[in-house]
Structure 1
Amino acid sequence: MKNKFYLNSLIIGIIIAVVLNFITLPYYVTRPGDAQDLSPLVEVEGGNEGAGNFMLTTVKMGKANVFTYAFAKFSEYQNIYPINQIRSEDESDEEYSYRQLHMMENSKETAIKVAYEKAGKEVELLSRGVYVFTVLKGMPAENKLAIGDRITHINGEETSTSEIFMEKVGEMEIGDTIEVTYDRNEREETTEIKLGEHPEKAGAPGIGISLLTDYEISTNPSITIDTAQIGGPSAGLMFSLEVYNQLVEEDITKGYKIAGTGAINVDGEVQRIGGISQKIVAADNSGVDLFFAPNENGAENSNYEEALKAAEDINTKMKIIPINTFDDAINYLDSLEPK
C-alpha cells in the first residue's frame, strides 16, 4: 500500500512538473550564449583567411516558465525582464522576430560599407526609406502607423534615412502636425500626425516610433554573409572587422581569438548594446583572448565599464579593450604583436 502511495505521488509530481514546464510566465529570461567564429559566415570573393578568429557573442533568450524563472532568480548572469521591456504590448512574437532579423540585416549592410570603404574597395549603399519597427502605445503614431510601414516622406520631403526623419521632427515643436507618407502592403498612403513629447527626451517633440533605414548594398568584390537566424544589431562591429580582414592582404587577427560586440553606424561609430556582461561570460567560456567593448566616448556606466566589472568578477584572463569607432579597433590591432 505504501509503495503504491509513493508511486502515485511520483506520477502526480511528474505530471505537475510537465504541466508547469509548458506554462509560460509574462517574462523573458536571458543568459550567456556563445562566441561564434565569423569566417564561415562571411565570404568575400577572393578574400584572404586569417590565422586567428573574429567572433560574435550571443545572448540566449526565451520565455520564462516556473523553472527557468526560479533558476534565473538565483543565477548572477541570468536576467529576468517583463515582456513589455522586450517587445511592445501589442507586438506578436513573429513581429518581434521580424524586427530583430531586420535590424541584423541593416547592421550587416552598414558593416560591409564601413569595411569596404576602409579597405578602399567599391561599395554603394542605397537607401529605400525607413521602416517602422515599434509603435508606442498612447503616443501620437498609435493607430496611424504600424510595424513594417516604410516611411518615404515627411511633409513632402524625402526621408532616405532614419537620421533624416528624426532631424526633421526635431526641428519642429510639440503640437505641430506633420504629414507622413509611407508604403504599406505595396500601397502608398499618407497620414497626418500631431507631435507629442518624446518618450525619452523631456521637452522634445516625437511621435512614439522607432525606425530603421532600409538599405540595399552593391560591392566589388562581391560578398555574402549568412546571418541565418541571428537577430539584432549588436554584431555590426565584429562583422565589419571580419569583412575588412578578408579584403586586405595582411592578417589583422595576428593569430588571436577576438570577440566583441557593438552596433555600428555608417560613420563607423560603435554604439551601445544590451547584455554585455552575459557576452563577457560567453566569450570567456569560448577561450577568447581579446574583447572589444563599446566605450561610448567614456560615458559613465558605459558598456566598457560594465564589461570590465564582469571580467573582474569572473576572473577572466581575457583583455577588454574600449572601442569608440571602427578605426579604434583597426589601430589597436595594427599595434598588436603577433601571437
Structure 2
Amino acid sequence: MTLSATAAVTPDQAVLVDLPSNRVPEGARPGYFRTEDNVRLRYATWPRAAEGHKGTVCLVHGRTEFIEKYFETIEDFRRRGFAVATFDWRGQGGSERLIGHPHHGHVERFEDFWLDLKSFHRQILLPECPPPFYLVGHSMGGLASLFAAANDRMMFDRVFLSAPMIWLPNQPLPPAGMAFFTRALGFLGLSQMPVSRPADRPPSRQAFEGNPLTSDLERYMRTVDVYAARPELEVSVPTLGWAAAAMTAMAEVARDDFPARIRVPVLMLAAACDRVVASAATEQLGLRMRTGRHVVIPGARHELFMETDAIRAQVFAAFDAFVTEQSE
C-alpha cells in the first residue's frame, strides 16, 4: 500500500513524517544541532498542552528508534503539563550516519551517546525549554541515562527508565568477559561487521506474531508505516563496534561501585516478558541503588510505551507517582 506523508519542516529542512496513522503532535519545532564532535543530530521540541508549569521531559530512545515512533507518548507527556524535547541518537533515525552502510547501527564508543545528550542539554534544553528537566530513557537510551545520572547530578531532577539495557539475555560470558571479547574482535578490524539476533528482526505485519517488542498490533504497525514512508530512517542490525561499546558500558554498570555514583532519584521499569534485555539485571541494580528503585510490569514485552492500553496505563501511573506529582 502506498502511504501519503506530509512533513513538518523548519528552515534548515529538518523533517518529521506525518501519517494518517501517526500524526505529528501540534506545536512541533524540529531542527538539527551539532554535537561537540561535529555530528549532526535531528531533534524536535514541543510546548506543554495543559495548564500549569511542570518543566520539560527529555525523551531518549532505544537502539534503531526515531522521533516519530514516540508521537503518542509525547502527547501523553504534554497533556500532563510537560514540554517535551527529544532527538535521534547519532547513527540512527534522522541523524547523521557514522559508517557507509546506512542501515547498520554503529557507534565507536558508548561515551559518544553521553556526548550527544550533553550537547543536546547545552544547546537545546537550557536555552529553549522550561526547567526543571526530567530524563526519560528507553532501552539503550535507558543505559545512556544511567551514565547521565552518574556523570552529572545537576542536569536532570529525576530519571525515569523504561526497560533499560542493563544486560542482555543468553550471553555466553559475564559482562566483563563479553566486553573484553567484543573489543578484541574490534581490534582485529571487524568493528563494522554486522551482528544480529532474533530480536533484531525488522518490523513487518508478517513478523508481528510472537515479536518480542509489543503485543499491540496498531502501535507496532506505526513503525512499519513510517519505514514505508521514509525508508532512510530504518536501522536494522548493529555492528560489532556497537556491540563492543554496549558491552563495555553494561560491564561498567555491573561493577560494584557503579550504583553509588548515581545521586539522582531514578525509577526503572522492567517488562516481565522482556526477551530483548534482561529484566533480572534491572531488578538487581534497583536493589543496589541508594537513590533508585525498580518496578516490574506484569505481562509486558520490551517496548513499554508501545504496549497495550492496560500496560501503558501502569507505565504512566508509575511516571505520575514518580515525576508528575513531584513537579506540582
**Structure with bigger gyration radius:** 1
Q: Calculate the TM-score normalised by the size of structure 1.
A: 0.27
The structure with the greater share of residues assigned to strand is: 1
The structure with the greater share of residues assigned to helix is: 2
